[in-house]
Amino acid sequence: MNLNATLFAQLVVFFILAWFTMQFVWPPIVKALDERAKKIADGLAAAERGKQDLELATKRSTDALREGKEKAAELIANAEKRGAQLIEEAKLTAKVEADRIVTGAKAEIDQEAVRAKEQLREQVASLVVSGAEKILRREINAQAHADILATIKQDL
């Protein structure tokens, strides 16, 4: 329990040891600790960002999917409408065509009828003339009455 010069020696040793720690022990370890803390903080921030990105991407993909579905539905509806329209148009065209054909046929028939009538008239006229000739041969000169015969032929 006596005091002696050891006290001062210990004082010097104390400061030398503290200086050594200050210089060579403390800074590298604190640096490593700080760096690790930063790494962990960065990692956590990156994870958070990744989570947000994922959420965003999920939202975007559902949106895209919904949009695609809507578009597809619209396309199908359009196609159906267009199909119906085409059928409608085709029906119309066919009807017009049919009408045209029918009209043509009718016209031809009419023409044929007119022609047949004409022929018939000619034949009837000649028959009448020949009949009248036969009758009149006995009474009338054909040349003298030609203008009357022609008029009759005209009226037939």
Partner 1 sequence: MSTAGHEEAAANAPTAGEYIVHHLTHFNSTGHAQKDIIDFSILNVDTLVFSVLMGVLGLFVMWRVARSATSGVPGRMQAAVEIVLEMVNEQAKGIVHSAESRKAVGPLALTVFIWIFLMNSMDFLPLDVFPNIWQAIVGDHHAYLRVVPTADLNGTLGMSIGVLLVCIYYNIKIKGFGGWMHELFTAPFGSHPLLYPVNFAMQMIEFLAKTVSHGMRLFGNMYAGELVFMLIALMGAAWAGTATGVFLFAGHVLAGSIWAIFHIMIVALQAFIFMMLTLVYIGQAHEAH
Distances (CA, A) of 77 to 25, 68, 88, 89, 91: 78, 14, 16, 18, 21
Nearer to partner 1, 32 or 72 (CB): 32
Q: Is 26 a binder of partner 1 (CB under 8 A)? A: yes
135 is a contact residue toward partner 1 (CB under 8 A) = no
- Please, are residues 128 and 152 in contact by the beta-carbon 8 Å criterion? yes
CA distance 10 to 31: 30
Q: Is 36 in the site for partner 1 (CB under 8 A)?
A: yes
User: In terms of CB distance, is 12 or 144 closer to partner 1?
Assistant: 12
Distance (Å, rounded) from C-alpha 155 to C-alpha 152?
A: 5
CB 126 within 8 A of CB 156: no
From 29-37, 58-66, 100-108, 142-150, span contacting partner 1 (CB under 8 A): 29-37
Q: Tell whether residue 22 is a contact of partner 1 (CB under 8 A).
A: yes
Which residues form the interface with partner 1 (CB under 8 A)? 1-11, 13-15, 17-18, 20-22, 24-36, 39
